[in-house]
Amino acid sequence: MGGRLTGQRMMITVPKDVVPLVRELAEMQGIPEATLVRNLIKEIAPMMRVAIENLRKLEQGDTIAGLMGFSAAMMRMQQDLAAQGAESFDEISKAILEPQKKARAKTPRKAPKKAVS
């Protein structure tokens, strides 16, 4: 682990149906639940900035730029999250499958049975 993290604590309420997902994913990655949630928030921070910029444009009356920018930001966020999900799934799959492959490679193969006629 690195140095002490700095930041501001926040109280959040996680929906009941999301809690098991957070727990399982954190366990699979071998990290605390709070670390997982913090990492997820850090990942979407750039999209939050874009959303804030475009919402400010809307508040200032620049409707076209604000709506187009906001819509584009939301589409980009969905694409990024999908890509990250696929990447995470790939990492998790490798973490699960690699030990199984190594174990199979160490196990001696049995000779095939001869057919009896």
pTM: 0.52
SS percent in the chain: helix, strand, coil, step 5: 70, 0, 30
* pLDDT tens-place string over residues 19-78: 999 999 999 889 999 999 998 888 888 888 887 887 787 777 766 665 666 667 667 767
Q: In 10 A of CB 58, how many CB atoms? A: 15
**Whole-number Å distance between alpha carbons of 52 and 96:** 39
Residue spans per domain, the chain = 19-100
List CB contacts of 59: < 8 A, sequence separation 6 or more.
66
